[in-house]
Structure 1
Amino acid sequence: MKAEDPQTDAKAPRTARGERTRRAILDAAAAEFGEKGFHEGSISGITRRAGCALGSFYTYFDTKDAVFRALVTDMSAQVRDYVGPRIAAAPDQISAEREGLLSFLEFARAHKEIYRIIDEAEFVDQAAYRSHYETTVDRITRRLRAAADRGEVRDDITEVHAWAIMGMNVFLGLRYGVWDESETPVEVARIANDMLARGIAP
């Protein structure tokens, strides 16, 4: 019997081939749910997009709900893995926040389905929805507090600051990553970062 991921009820693959199949199913689920939504999307639609048999789906996921939960967790991890290295390479925390937003805007433009999937998670799986945002805020809070210890940002940083930064990034990603691409990610990140560094006081 395959080990299960306690967060998603998904069964972990034991071989490289199994991992490729599971990856193909998750990518196909992103396309299926991103295009049709959770309720209209189907397991048969996912397996058709993945080019695999129905039995292969049930090797790793018991239900449509299970693959959706796994997908929310997977998309959160994809964002983290795409954004994280650029944040880590920045010379200071203010620059790191600019790089974080810039790379998130790039990710959102390449994966527009993320917004529909995460938004639907609020109604399909409240725990996965909350976890997506709470784990993101936890990462931001930890890096801001570390930066405060280094003297790179104000020393009264709290979780409220982290939620504010994440909220800004989420809605800028929606506006300039999904709805409209007329403004360059570099310029959006520059303006937002200037506000973050200096506020909006005259």
Structure 2
Amino acid sequence: MKQGVIHLSHNTGRELTKKGLNTRRKLLKSAEKVFGAKGYFEAGVVEITQEANVAQGTFYKYFPSKKAIYDELVQQMSRDLRLFIKQAIEKSPQDDMFRKSFEAFFEWVGENQNLYSIVLQAVIVDKHLYRWYYEKLATGFIKALKETDKHGESKPLNHEALAYSLMGIGQFLGMRWINWEGEEVPKEVLDTAMGMVLHGILK
């Protein structure tokens, strides 16, 4: 590898220097703002490069198209979110794991509120990417649920069904309070959700 080269661009196959990697990150951050504000179909490469304060030709050194940077953005947000949740729960006791995962999700969404807009657009932009995003998230929940099985702390239920149910709870509570109202999810709301998760609804 050439001296000073530290990264390979997955979209162009180009090896990137530290400076190039920083430019690529700046373009992705700008794309997040532009896609979040204008939507995929209304946004253009020109707006992304203007936001990043780079020449339009620079964009194509890192991404071959608008779709390519959108794909990479969704994948990056997925990786960052999953890592954030993993780090939040990896040292948590089993009986606190679910609450910690919800709290981590809400914290990350609060700091990255374009997530909802950008991911939901994938339903129309690329349904396979949309499915990939949620399948990757579900995989982490399924792994955690299998761990609770090892400790005899959960009922013998379908892990995939439970994973998507938990994701639905987090998704819509975050949407209701963080995305719509710009507020934190109230403690009593999370308490209610956790009561349902841990003890069910019916007496």
TM-score by structure 2 length? 0.89
What is the total number of aligned residue pairs between the two structures?
197
Alignment of 1:129-168 (within 5 A): 129-168=130-169
Query: Whole-Å Cα distance in 2 between the matches of residues 173 and 26 of structure 1?
Result: 24
Question: Is the CA contact 1:86–1:100 (under 8 Å) kept in the aligned structure 2?
Answer: yes
The alpha-carbon distance between structure 1 residues 134 and 87, as it changes in their structure 2 partners (threshold 3 A), is: same
| Distance across 2 between alignment mates of 1:104 and 1:10 | 32
Alpha-carbon distance in structure 1 between the residues aligned to 2:8 and 2:201: 51
Residue type at the aligned position of 2:90? A
Distance 1:182 1:19 in 2: 34
Higher relative contact order (CA 8 A, sep 6+): 1
Q: Against the structure 1 CA distance between its residues 51 and 105, is the aligned structure 2 distance closer, same or farther, given a 3 Å change threshold?
A: same
1:39 counterpart SS class: coil
Give the RMSD, CA atoms, in angstroms.
1.9
Among 42, 55, 61, the alignment partner of 1:53 is 55
Kept after mapping to 2: 8 A contact 1:10/1:66 = no
Q: Name the SS for the 2:93 alignment partner.
A: coil
For residues 150 and 98 of structure 1, the distance between their equivalents in structure 2, rounded to whole angstroms, comes to 18
Is the 1:10–1:67 contact (alpha carbons within 8 Å) kept by the matching residues of 2? Answer: no
Structure 1: distance between partners of 2:96 and 2:49:
42
Quickly say closer, same or farther: Cα 1:112–1:151, change in 2 above 3 A.
same
Q: Aligned partner of 1:156: which letter?
A: L
Mind listing any 5+ residue stretches in structure 1 that lack a counterpart?
none
Partner of 1:84: 86
1:118–1:129 Cα contact (<8 Å) kept: yes
CA contact (8 A) 1:145 1:157 kept: no
Structure 2, unaligned runs of 5 or more: 1-6
Change beyond 3 A, Cα 1:11–1:192: farther
Residues 59 and 102 from structure 1, CA distance in 2 versus in 1: closer, same or farther, beyond 3 angstroms? same
| 1: CA distance, partners of 2:121 / 2:105 | 20
Q: Are 1:149 and 1:155, in contact at CA under 8 Å, matched by a contact in 2?
A: no
- Alpha-carbon distance between aligned partners in 2 of 1:190 and 1:129, rounded to the nearest angstrom: 30
Pairs within 5 Å for 1:181-192? 181-182=182-183, 184-192=185-193
Matched residues in 2 for 1:150 and 1:179: separation? 38
State whether residues 44 and 66 of structure 2, in contact with CA within 8 Å, keep that contact through their aligned partners in structure 1: yes
- Contact 2:178/2:184 (CA < 8 Å) preserved in 1? no
Q: CA deviation at 1:184?
A: 3.9
How far apart, CA to CA, are the structure 1 residues paired with 2:142 and 2:32? 28
Amino acid at match of 1:31: K
